[in-house]
Amino acid sequence: MVTVITAFFRKMIPELSNPSVCMKDPQRVQKVLQSIAEAGANKLQVISDFDMTLTRFSYNGKRCPTCHNILDNSRAISSECKQKLADLLKTYYPIEIDTSLSVEEKLPLMVEWWTKAHDLLVEQKVRKDQLAEAVHESEARLRDGYEFFFNHLHKHDVPLLIFSAGIGDILEEVIRHFNVFLSNVKIFSNYMDFDESGTLRAFKGELIHVYNKREGALLNTGHFQELRTRPNVLLLGDSIGDLNMADGVQDMQNILKIGFLNDKVEERKQTYLDSYDIVLVKDETMDVPNAIVLYLTGNK
């Protein structure tokens, strides 16, 4: 059966033969791909994380900034605040990716991290007009091939729902900067609340962090209900917390989960293989998602 599956991939989606691609159950991947393709693009929705999923993890050997990093590193933030934010990252990021800790153990610590970071940003009295400048001057990069991904989904009227634990205002500026903030894109993230003078005074609504996207998804079930005619899901993420982003989808029929494994590969690889259908190891491109999206839309 493996040779048949290999032949299918080689013929239909040759990019799945890339060295970066790992699959625990290629037979299941083939079956799900065929089911979604047969149903057609009008039954499909794409749900994705943003930082280190649609954006690059690194470029020329240097880490690329997340939405939070873009603001943290900007001129809108004092050097003292920059150091405090860097200290938070040094403390909490190892906890976020520690495979020896359960999600339940990480939850309160992630809330602690995001809350402290947001409080520091509010103290800085960040102005709304500084956000575009911060993005423009940053080294933020979408993954190679992003243009095809965004434009092809838009061309086929496939909704792209982005769930991000980052800062929604910055995220919007990034995709606007790269000219892909298209009409089919919907963003669920942490949005800033500005006062009448355009100064940051708080963050809106419930906090979204890397391990509570399930709650974010369920809070937005009203939006998912609008998509009930699209029961097939392509999910993209880079953390175990991203696996729950589709929990609000009504009457789901098929889901294919693609995980980008960017960091601490050897110690996390098995966990990712057990969780995601396709794992992309240290792959800074959208080549595989693009090939899959092309196949699912009838190669048109």
* Catalytic machinery residues: 49, 51
Contact criterion met (CB below 8 Å) for 163 and 217: yes
Total count of residues recorded for the chain: 300
How far is the C-alpha of 261 from the C-alpha of 279, rounded, in Å? 7
What would you report as the CA-atom Rg of the chain, rounded to the nearest whole angstrom?
Answer: 19
Q: Give φ, ψ of 66 to 5 degrees.
A: -85, 175
Which of these, 283, 216, 211, 196, lies nearest to 21 by C-alpha position? 283
Bridge partners (DSSP) listed for residue 254: 232
Which of these, 77, 62, 213, 95, lies nearest to 133 by C-alpha position? 77
How far is the C-alpha of 274 from the C-alpha of 281, rounded, in Å? 14
How large is the angle between the packed helices 146-155 and 287-296, nearest 10 degrees?
Answer: 20
Bridge partners (DSSP) listed for residue 200: 194
Residue 142 is classified by DSSP as B
Q: Can you read off the two tokens belonging to residue 95?
A: 């906890």
Number of C-beta neighbours around residue 225 at 10 A: 12
Which of these, 94, 88, 140, lies nearest to 119 by C-alpha position? 88
How far is the C-alpha of 236 from the C-alpha of 246, rounded, in Å? 10
AA identity, residue 155: K
